[in-house]
Amino acid sequence: MLPTQLLDELQAQGLVPPEQVALIRQDEQTRPFSVHYEVRTLLYLGIVLLTGGLGVLLYQHINEIGHGVVVAGMTLLTAACFGYADRHRAPFTWAKVPRKGFLPDYVLLLACLLFLILESYVQYQYGIFGTRYGLAVFLPAVLFLWLAYLFDHRGVLSMAITALASWLGLTVAPLSAFTDNDFRSLSGAAIGLGVALVGIGLWSEYQDRKRHFSFTYVSLGSNLALLAATASLLDFYSTSWLSPFAAAALILVLSGFLVWYARRTHSYLFILMSTVYSYIVVTYLFFQVVKDLKGSDAVLLLVLLYFLLSGFGAIMLFVNIKRILRIAHEPESL
């Protein structure tokens, strides 16, 4: 076994006394095997399956089941979940609340998803919001935002932001933000919401108001804003209100901010995002300059030189930047 060899070595080097080595050895042998993350993942999978299945089930069989039964049953279930989560709730503070167990967190998540199904059902069947569909999405956004702060829950915060975005007709989900959004008509809203979210993240970080929420705000917000700005920069949509120059400037400023934020919070995901988007901008600007030049061979040479030099230049920058950014050997993290 590996730890045994390492312990032998530490003992031989005199770094750890023999009694302590024996203690560690015993701990290695008797320590229970933790299935913490496996259980949590399966629990979350169960919640997603149940709520996804239930949503479709009610929708398809809407006329076969008694409406009163469905509404009563769903309300009871939702209330029970909220009640359970509330019973285990710690008093509110602006700091991170220590957890005793993870079950209440997931029950709260389940309660929120059940609430969404219930709300959709009631709206579909009884039309309580009439034709004001926006309200049907705005209500959960506000509710979830309140719950997220009350229960100190980052997952519910994500749902609140998702709901807020879909109230504006946008998708903030990290992977579907690109495919599902219609930037032609919504690039202004997307950039506005993205920048606003980044601003709120900045505020929580600086004012120490739920500082651990800032990652969720900044990651979802900056991804949305950068995508929308890049889409208008690359001229996919000629009717866009944002001039390419303003979009490029916005991307570069936002990227600079992300580098600063990454350094402050040691979340290097943001350095990756800012680098990719700024490189797209710089490359785009380079091609704008080059495309008007005459002589295909010379242009080809220039383009190759650009990629060669920018590639190796960026590598040299990043290898040497670690002193500037104080990037040490840290455990892997987001």
Partner 1 sequence: MNLKAYNPLWAHHEAMRAAATHWQKRGLLSSLQLAAIVAAHPLDYYRPNIFLRIILFIFTIIGLSAASSFMALLFSGGFHSGNEEVLLVTIAALTIAGGLALLEFSIKTSRLYHSGIDNAILYYTLGWAVFLIVYFIYEVTPIGYRASSSLTSPAAAIVLLLVLLLLVAATIRYAERLVAAAAYATYLLLLASILLQFSIGRLVLPFAVMLASVAAYFFIKKLAQRPDYLYYKSCLQLLKVLSLVTFYLGGNYLVVREGNALLSDSMVSTQVPFAWLFYFFTGGIPIAYIVVGLRRHDRIWLLVGLLLIAFSVFTLRRYHSVLPAEIAATIVGAVLIAAMIWVTRYLRPSRHGLTTAADDEDDTRKFNLESLIVAQTANVPQPAEVGFEFGGGSSGGGGAESNY
Show contacts with partner 1 in window 47-66 (CB under 8 A): 47-60
2 forms part of the interface with partner 1 (CB under 8 A) = yes
Residues 167 and 194: their CA atoms lie apart, in Å, by 14
Judged by beta carbon, residue 111 or residue 242, the one nearer partner 1 is 111
Site string for partner 1, 114-133 (x = CB under 8 A): xxxx--xx--x--------x
What is the chain's length?
Answer: 334
| Residue 101 φ/ψ region, left for φ over 0, alpha for ψ in the -120 to 50 degree band, beta for the rest | beta
173 forms part of the interface with partner 1 (CB under 8 A) = yes
Instruction: List the one residue from 74, 110, 190, 250 that touches partner 1 (CB under 8 A).
Output: 110
Judged by beta carbon, residue 246 or residue 305, the one nearer partner 1 is 305
Residues 280 and 298: their CA atoms lie apart, in Å, by 22
23 forms part of the interface with partner 1 (CB under 8 A) = yes
Residues 260 and 81: their CA atoms lie apart, in Å, by 40
Q: How far apart are the first and last CA of the chain?
A: 31
Judged by beta carbon, residue 127 or residue 246, the one nearer partner 1 is 127
Give the alpha-carbon dihedral of 281, 282, 284, 288, to 10 degrees.
130
Residues 178 and 109: their CA atoms lie apart, in Å, by 26
8-17: buried (b, 16+ CB within 10 Å) or exposed (e) per residue?
eeebeeeeee
Give the chain's largest Cα–Cα span. 79
Judged by beta carbon, residue 34 or residue 93, the one nearer partner 1 is 34
Least separation in angstroms between CB 187 and partner 1: 17
The neighbour count for residue 93, using CB atoms within 10 Å, is 9
Least separation in angstroms between CB 188 and partner 1: 17
Least separation in angstroms between CB 239 and partner 1: 20
Site string for partner 1, 182-221 (x = CB under 8 A): ------------------------------x--xx--xx-
Task: Show the tokens assigned to 7.
Answer: 């312990």
Residues 232 and 248: their CA atoms lie apart, in Å, by 9
The neighbour count for residue 92, using CB atoms within 10 Å, is 10
Taking CB under 8 A as the binding criterion, the range among 37-45, 192-200, 244-252, 285-293 that sits at the site for partner 1 is 37-45
Within residues 62-101, the interface with partner 1 by CB under 8 A covers: 96, 101
Selection from 236, 227, 284, 216 nearest residue 254 by Cα = 227
Judged by beta carbon, residue 173 or residue 229, the one nearer partner 1 is 173
Cβ 190 vs Cβ 181: under 8 Å: yes
108 forms part of the interface with partner 1 (CB under 8 A) = no
DSSP 3-state of 96: coil
Instruction: List the one residue from 85, 151, 166, 191 that touches partner 1 (CB under 8 A).
Output: 166
Cβ 123 vs Cβ 136: under 8 Å: yes
Taking CB under 8 A as the binding criterion, the range among 2-10, 195-203, 230-238, 287-295 that sits at the site for partner 1 is 2-10
Judged by beta carbon, residue 96 or residue 235, the one nearer partner 1 is 96
Taking CB under 8 A as the binding criterion, the range among 225-233, 235-243, 250-258, 313-321 that sits at the site for partner 1 is 313-321
Instruction: List the one residue from 80, 90, 272, 293 that touches partner 1 (CB under 8 A).
Output: 272
Instruction: List the one residue from 70, 108, 163, 248 that touches partner 1 (CB under 8 A).
Output: 163
Taking CB under 8 A as the binding criterion, the range among 202-210, 239-247, 271-279, 288-296 that sits at the site for partner 1 is 271-279
24 forms part of the interface with partner 1 (CB under 8 A) = yes
